[in-house]
A = this chain, B = another copy of it.
Amino acid sequence: MSHQQFQKCIDACVACAAACNHCATSCLQEDDVKMMALCIQLDLECAAICRAAAEVMTLSSGYSAHLCRICADVCKACADECAKHDMEHCQTCAEACRRCAEACAQMATAV
């Protein structure tokens, strides 16, 4: 699996990490922050793991599939939580998480 073949999954991971960070900081500015606490927590975990998955793929690492397997799981969990909230940043993040979960799940089995 080449760097170029990784590219679609790398793109999904960095887009998801950005969406998660943006969602987390936007949640912090909502009136009812307490309601968003789990969303923020999962955003942070998901962003960290997406960054790591992108990082190892850009290094063409043999561990990429293993990272992508975990990344697919946390993305699904984060998407499910974000989807519960109507705010645009949550809906946008849920969509980015779903796309990343799909790309990572493919990568996890393909490599």
Contact = CB atoms under 8 A, between A and B. Distances in A.
Interface residues on A, range: 35 or more
A93 B111 CA distance: 25
Q: Report the copy number of this chain in the oligomer.
A: 4
Nearest to A74: B63
A33 B30 CA distance: 11
Contacts of A22: 3, 58, 60
A104 B50 CA distance: 20
A82 interface: no
Contact of A54 (B3, B18, B29): B18
5 contacts: A41-B59, A44-B44, A48-B59, A49-B52, A49-B67
